[in-house]
Amino acid sequence: MRNGSCVWLLMFCAAASAAEPYSIALGACLRQNQPQPIWEAILAAQPKLFVFMGDNIYADTLNMDVMRAQYAKLQTQSGYRKVRASCPVLATWDDHDYGQNDAGAEYPMKTQSQRLFLDFLDIPQTSPLRTRPGVYSAHRYGPREQTIQVILLDTRFFRSALKRTQDETRCLTGRYVPNQDPTATLLGEAYLGRPHSERGKEYRVLPTVGTQHRGVDGGGRERRPHH
């Protein structure tokens, strides 16, 4: 994904009960160096859960001190602090908060970046998320008979390197072409099978959050058919 300056909000409502829908706010592409009035709209919507979908900051660096400072800028935003105080906050990452534009498993600072990502979310040191590679996770909310599960994918930590086109002038494929290598992966072996362990369980709603583009564009951007 290229650098962008958009900040946006989606509201997702699930009928956890007939009397009180369960609202989830989703957001992405947040510039930590710019004003963030979007938090006031999120607070006004009174969601029961907020989910960062990636590019939660724009760091693009190999220097973890720089990345830590960018997270700190977001943490000082008063609107963000109010949202953190009002509801749970979940997150996955995309390339710019992972550390490098369009990066995957080849990014050399991915382990250190994951540590800072978890620190930003105040994940306890005893959490299983601290003991395994990748930031994928699953979370359940609502009463047992009407459970809402949110699955957060990690499409960066394990993703095989993108394959560049030999013809940089081709407008439809842009910088990348589909990777036909049968060993190439998007989610990685560590993740495979984890959602399947949830089969047989009843969920009213099963939102799944990932960070890959779909379809064809002429800008040469990373998109799902390249994997």
- What mean pLDDT value characterizes the chain? 80
DSSP structure class, residue 169: T
Q: Rounded to whole angstroms, how far apart are CA atoms 26 and 37?
A: 15
Q: Rounded to whole angstroms, how far apart are CA atoms 152 and 50?
A: 12
**pLDDT above 60 (res 100):** yes
Residue 210's pLDDT band (cuts 50, 70, 90): low
Residue 182's pLDDT band (cuts 50, 70, 90): confident
Q: Rounded to whole angstroms, how far apart are CA atoms 187 and 193?
A: 11
DSSP structure class, residue 2: -
In the chain, % of residues over pLDDT 90: 47
pLDDT of residue 188: 82
Q: Give the residue-averaged pLDDT of 120-130.
A: 95
Token duo for residue 146 = 């009407």
Other C-beta atoms closer than 10 Å to the C-beta of 9 total 15
Lowest mean pLDDT among 13-22, 38-47, 175-184, 187-196: 13-22
Fold that domain 8-226 belongs to in CATH: Purple Acid Phosphatase; chain A, domain 2 (3.60.21)
Which residue type is seen at 39? W
Taking only Cα atoms into account, the Rg of the chain, rounded to an integer number of angstroms, comes to 18
